Amino acid sequence: MSDRYLVQEAKTRQELDAVMDVIWAANYTPYEPFAQIFFPVLGFTTAHREAAIAESKERFWNQHQADRSSHWFYAFDTVTGRAVGCAQWVISESNPFAAALNWMAVHPSHRFQGIGSLLMNVGILRADELNLECWMEASSMGKPLYEKFKFQSLLKIAFDNEKLGASDEWRKCAHEMTPPPIFAMWRPKQGRRTSDLGGVRLPWELGTEK
């Protein structure tokens, strides 16, 4: 990969606003069904969409400021100066579920430039320095990338939206917002996959081991 793309941590409101622009672009091109859960657009006009984007920027900034474990990183194009990818790593040294990749998004026009790997590297290196295990939820599309970084799939999770006597509104929301199945993925400390005896040690076997 060329030096055209660099990664740095978002420290200012302006930087995180640019991150949110990437997330909106990534989740609407193509459209991801769960986008309306996190980023509801309450109407059908351009004004409604702009209001939703403004609300999400305010909400995510406030959440980030209130959570010391939240670390937003973004990849930017050194030619245009624009953010083209982002990832939120939640790193908690006091939690047995110590590091988690909470969000990752890459702008549609830059999806095949290796930006996902850049954003993975920055969190993985930090987790390894702190000797932390990592967690994430992955789509079928993202799963191969995360496996490359020694994440392993533990469970495949399908969303059950069946409801007895469901209303038309419920069925409409279920049709429009239910995402495809996701995978609960785990990466052991330092990416190690085996115990001293050569067997895989799964997280529920580790308890709260430090």
- pLDDT value of position 104: 93
Across-strand partners of 74?
Answer: 8, 86
41-55, 84-98, 189-203: least confidently modelled range: 189-203
* Predicted confidence band of residue 37 (pLDDT cuts 50, 70, 90): confident
Rounded distance, CA 94 to CA 149, Å?
A: 23
Q: Under CATH, which architecture does the 5-206 domain have?
A: 3-Layer(aba) Sandwich (3.40)
Give pTM, 2 decimals: 0.82
pLDDT over threshold 80, residue 208: no
**Annotated domain spans of the chain:** 5-206
What is the pLDDT averaged over residues 108-135? Answer: 91
Exposure string of 144-173, with b = 16+ CB inside 10 Å and e = fewer, is eebeebebeeeeeeeeeeeeeeeeeeeeee
- pLDDT value of position 197: 40
